[in-house]
Structure 1
Amino acid sequence: MAKVTTIIDIGSNSMRMVVLEKSSRFAFNLINETKARVKISEGCYENGGNLQELPMQRAFNSLESFLSISKSLKSRKIICVATSALRDAPNSNLFLKKVRNELGLNIKIINGVKEAYYGGVATMNLIYEEEFITVDIGGGSTEFAIVRNGQIEKCISLDVGTVRLNELFFSKGNIEGAKEYLLEKLKEVLECGHEIPSTVVGIGGSIRALSKVIISKTHYPLDILHGFTYCVDLNRHILEQIVNAKNSNTLKHIGIKKDRFDTIKEGTFIFKTILDELNIKRVVTSGAGVREGVYLTDLLRNSNNKFPANFNVSVKSLLDRFQIDEKQSAYLGRNAREIFDVLKPLHELDDKYRHLLVIASKLNSLGTTLNFYKSNDNTFDFILSGLNYGFLHSSRVTIAHTIKFSKKSLPQKRDLKHFESLLPPIEKMQWLSFMISLNLTLNQDMSMPKLNYKLKDNKLKICFEKSIFLIENEIAKLESPKGLKVKLSC
């Protein structure tokens, strides 16, 4: 696969592009994301599904700009897919030929089931959930993929979208007609022969806009959409406010951005109806969707469209680009496991924290590549925004705080107050802070010493092959929890 790849998704309402750069076999990072609200389907549902001249010209002009960005970023591969508006339009060939002849770009029209599948591939690889149903609300259609245990069980596409409902029902004030239409379509999901999970992974601009409002209104401490999770019952009133909003001023007061005024009521109406009818309890917001699914299907074509077991693309990508020394990172990861395991009778932490401690130990030095001074603070900010895929928000915040309080005094409650709702209790954070501090101190001279650990009567004995003064001096400065004593010997 090319080192730099461009994926373009032409939807009914928006056209989006991502440019992704590989850093190793399976790892990649985003180097550009561009969106254009071209509304290519505008007016088509009132005209037999035919694309109209002005929207087609907007889409063509935007594609021209997208290709200019792609070329500047030295992309060697471009995959362009089109969804509902073009697959429904009897005259879509006019647009396809114009783009092919004048821009040299081939557009692949994908059917609704394939669109749903791409959403499933993206979320099962990039969202930390075992069982869920995706909901991807677009301008012309809505897609569903049922995912369990890393497998896509069922893909469904319904002709229900924000632009379609607006032109057929909302613009005519026929809300009841829209409800009847939607409920009839949803029977295909309810009667699909598979149990519907109680968790939705939401894809698409309308669902992300809703999540932004909920983040703001609930004073959520992390301003990041991918992986943001909320309870449906606790936030149903916000969805109802949007659906019942009388005008754009009301939407603005609720917190909706201006560029969403034209579709947010329809999008929220669709989403709320789906949540109610499918009896959904929980929503996880996905920043990844069809574009990432197209990319991953190409990248992982020889591995059943799944990352290898125990592989995290964000961790690997960060290490590829910013780690100082691969051997040092690997050593710190191994040592973190040993320290966690030998101290388990004291800290009694769940094994999931071993995984987080290992990652924090491996990623600890990333901030040094940005600026040696304040390295821990640099890494803290970097992790919060850069550890994008495959982590719950709570895990991301825990890793960042573990690094922030490495080789410092143990954190106190006041230090964790802003992110308190996403962090484990203070006692657990103190243990994680101590264990990463001990890990880093034991490799203070970067010699990767061979170590042997023994725990007895609240005393941790660490045996070295030879005395290392620099380490002995620093160990004495560490603050340990629960009166633990650390002793070095040769």
Structure 2
Amino acid sequence: MIEQERMAIIDVGSNSIRLVIYGIDAKRRYRSLYNLKIAARLSEYLNEEDALKREGFIVLTQVFTQFKAVLDAQNVNHVEAVATAAIRRATNQQDILQHINQSMGITIRVLSGEEEAYYGYLATINSTNIKDGLMFDMGGSSTEVVYFKNREIVESYSFPIGALTLAKMWNEDQASMKRIRHVAHEHFRQLSWLKKLGVPLIGVGGSVRQLAAVHRKRQQYPVSGLHQYEMTDTQLHDTFHYLRKIPPVKRSEIAGLSQERAGNIVPAGLFIAELMRHTEGKNLIISRKGLRDGILYDKLLQDRQTRRFVNVKRETIYQLMREFNLSDTYGKAVYSLARSYYHLLFPNDTDEERAQIEQLLLFSSHLRMLGHYIDEEHAHAHTLNVLINRSLDGFTHEERISLALLSSFTSIKRLRKKALQYKRILHGRWIRKLEILGAIIRMAASLYVTGREIIAKVELKNVGRSRYLQFVFHVKKGESYYFEQQHATLSLRQLERATKTKYRMIFTEEDQS
């Protein structure tokens, strides 16, 4: 990626202050270069009148001094500094902003609760494929909620309560649980639209990520990354009760839980569980994209009124192709052949099945050569490892594994061996279909092995009483096909094993005149 500019986002939160520097190229591709955080806990430096105390000014100065040194060294073109609940609450807000501006030359924009909710929504809508949902972003001193339908905002709100304020109410007893439940429902009752929404909850912020990380570790979940990790309401409640029963001094030792979050994870978990109960949420989906990502998308997509990607999955594949220098011509050619095979072998699939599988074949065809960018000798293994171990925006974990298995397919034996690791996510019937689809893609790639589109049409015929079905490849007039036939013969064996059917191949020259 050739950088055109560098953009920095500074997020001044109630709990921590974070600096992220992005490299951005001319085609809107971006990459996070530096991600630095300091646990400043600004909300603890607000006095009874909600004015930031002298100690708070000292902490802010120290943090921005460290950040300024990094910004100067990294040649950042543009700095976007925003502040949320702690500074929003501060009665001496203007003194704070003026102090940082005069001492550091950095202008901080204080976000309203509505703006903070909007950026969280932008991050969610541009990194998942969810159509209807309730996004909530729990910070240290506030929690933003956004209800969206057909990917459009319907309602939004900012509750003046977060993980740190909840922690102050918590004393590790039944009275604490009653107090937080009461406070939660007092807030929830303010919003009539929040009751019984019956949509997925999309959780943003450190607290919900930590709950998911603990659950993931306990379940020995086989897929890396928390983005789009899913939990049921039962699993969320079980995780909360598991954490509650562990003595506070021991919580920081729990696998998946950071020491920083150990002190407030239980009250935060209770609040989230009550939100899920109140809205009758179907499931909880974790998003690693939040406020900072929303601000970045707002800049990258400023030429679009909606500030949204048209198709999140296609955007993810587009970004991968640019990163690994993949050929769109190759992907389209392999997909065209793979799609022909699929229609011949599965003529009775429903329209819904066909749309799902055609999209999977399209993306897999375009990513098949990904591993060659790393090392040609073990290209397919590299393709698998990159896609399995990387969060892919818009793709569920099941879709991500399926995409990795198809893009890296070499043989049924290897696919089955790898799929065994994910048997809790992929059911047996789907794995069997992936075997056929993988063989289809390999077969299609074989017919493009010389980088020429020489096959005009593919047919599947049942000739007379022959026990073999015949694939007939119509070759464009005047084109040689020695290498295509050679590679297709080897690939055909995998298709035969997958479909448990014997085939013959016939290459015939087509007159294009």
Q: TM-score w.r.t. structure 1 length?
A: 0.92
Helix, strand or coil for the counterpart of 2:80? Answer: strand
CA distance in 2, matches of 1:363, 1:71: 38
Helix, strand or coil for the counterpart of 1:164? Answer: helix
1:401-436 deviation digits (Å, cap 9, x = unpaired): 112223x34546443110122235331111121111
How far 1:29 moved relative to its partner? 3.1
Match of 1:489 in 2: 508
Match of 2:425 in 1: 422
Query: Aligned partner of 1:217: which letter?
Result: R
How far 1:312 moved relative to its partner? 2.9
How far 1:225 moved relative to its partner? 0.4
Match of 1:359 in 2: 363
CA distance in 2, matches of 1:400, 1:273: 37
Q: Provide structure 1 residue ranges, at least 5 long, that are not aligned to the other structure.
A: none
Identity over aligned pairs, percent:
20
CA distance in 2, matches of 1:376, 1:172: 51
Of the structure 1 ranges 101-110 and 66-75, higher mean CA displacement relative to structure 2 is found in: 66-75
Greater radius of gyration (CA): 2
**Change in CA separation of 1:19 and 1:357 when aligned onto 2, cut-off 3 Å:** farther
Q: Provide structure 2 residue ranges, at least 5 long, that are not aligned to the other structure.
A: 463-468
Match of 2:385 in 1: 381
**Change in CA separation of 1:352 and 1:70 when aligned onto 2, cut-off 3 Å:** farther
Match of 2:321 in 1: 319
Whether 2:42 is the aligned partner of 1:29: answer no
1:20-77 deviation digits (Å, cap 9, x = unpaired): 3334544433333222211111142x52222233344333333333344444444322
Helix, strand or coil for the counterpart of 2:42? Answer: coil
Name the count of aligned residue pairs: 486
Asked if the contact 1:140–1:164 (Cα under 8 Å) also holds between the matched residues in 2, the reply is yes
CA distance in 1, matches of 2:219, 2:101: 47
> What RMSD in Å do the two structures reach over aligned CA positions?
2.5
Asked if the contact 1:17–1:291 (Cα under 8 Å) also holds between the matched residues in 2, the reply is no
Match of 1:432 in 2: 437
Asked if the contact 1:141–1:161 (Cα under 8 Å) also holds between the matched residues in 2, the reply is yes
CA distance in 1, matches of 2:80, 2:340: 45
How far 1:278 moved relative to its partner? 2.0
Query: Aligned partner of 1:401: which letter?
Result: L
1:451-484 deviation digits (Å, cap 9, x = unpaired): 3111223433221212321111111111213215
Match of 2:452 in 1: 447
Of the structure 1 ranges 325-334 and 12-21, higher mean CA displacement relative to structure 2 is found in: 325-334
How far 1:359 moved relative to its partner? 0.7
Helix, strand or coil for the counterpart of 1:80? Answer: strand
**Change in CA separation of 1:385 and 1:73 when aligned onto 2, cut-off 3 Å:** farther
Asked if the contact 2:328–2:366 (Cα under 8 Å) also holds between the matched residues in 1, the reply is no
Whether 2:482 is the aligned partner of 1:469: answer yes
How far 1:331 moved relative to its partner? 2.9
**Change in CA separation of 1:281 and 1:326 when aligned onto 2, cut-off 3 Å:** closer
Task: Decide which of 432, 438, 460 is 2:471's aligned counterpart.
Answer: 460
Asked if the contact 1:314–1:387 (Cα under 8 Å) also holds between the matched residues in 2, the reply is no
User: Aligned ranges for residues 159-174 of structure 1 at < 5 Å?
Assistant: 159-167=160-168, 169-170=169-170
Higher RCO structure (Cα 8 Å, ≥6 apart): 1
Asked if the contact 2:114–2:157 (Cα under 8 Å) also holds between the matched residues in 1, the reply is yes
CA distance in 2, matches of 1:294, 1:196: 27
1:320-379 deviation digits (Å, cap 9, x = unpaired): 121243432343344433333333228885431221121111011121111112101111
1:213-258 deviation digits (Å, cap 9, x = unpaired): 1111112111210010111113412112324543121453475221
Whether 2:245 is the aligned partner of 1:227: answer no
Asked if the contact 1:28–1:313 (Cα under 8 Å) also holds between the matched residues in 2, the reply is no
User: Aligned ranges for residues 395-410 of structure 1 at < 5 Å?
Assistant: 395-406=399-410, 408-409=411-412
Asked if the contact 2:128–2:312 (Cα under 8 Å) also holds between the matched residues in 1, the reply is no
Query: Aligned partner of 1:437: which letter?
Result: R
Query: Aligned partner of 1:108: which letter?
Result: R
1:181-207 deviation digits (Å, cap 9, x = unpaired): 222111123x13786243100000000
**Change in CA separation of 1:413 and 1:380 when aligned onto 2, cut-off 3 Å:** closer
User: Aligned ranges for residues 46-445 of structure 1 at < 5 Å?
Assistant: 47-167=48-168, 169-170=169-170, 175=176, 176-189=178-191, 191-192=192-193, 196-250=197-251, 252-253=253-254, 255-303=256-304, 304-309=306-311, 312-345=314-347, 350-406=354-410, 408-409=411-412, 411=414, 413-424=416-427, 425-445=430-450
CA distance in 1, matches of 2:172, 2:229: 35
Asked if the contact 1:20–1:28 (Cα under 8 Å) also holds between the matched residues in 2, the reply is yes
CA distance in 2, matches of 1:15, 1:484: 63
**Change in CA separation of 1:72 and 1:375 when aligned onto 2, cut-off 3 Å:** farther
1:157-211 deviation digits (Å, cap 9, x = unpaired): 01111222333x236986243332222111123x137862431000000000001
CA distance in 2, matches of 1:443, 1:113: 52
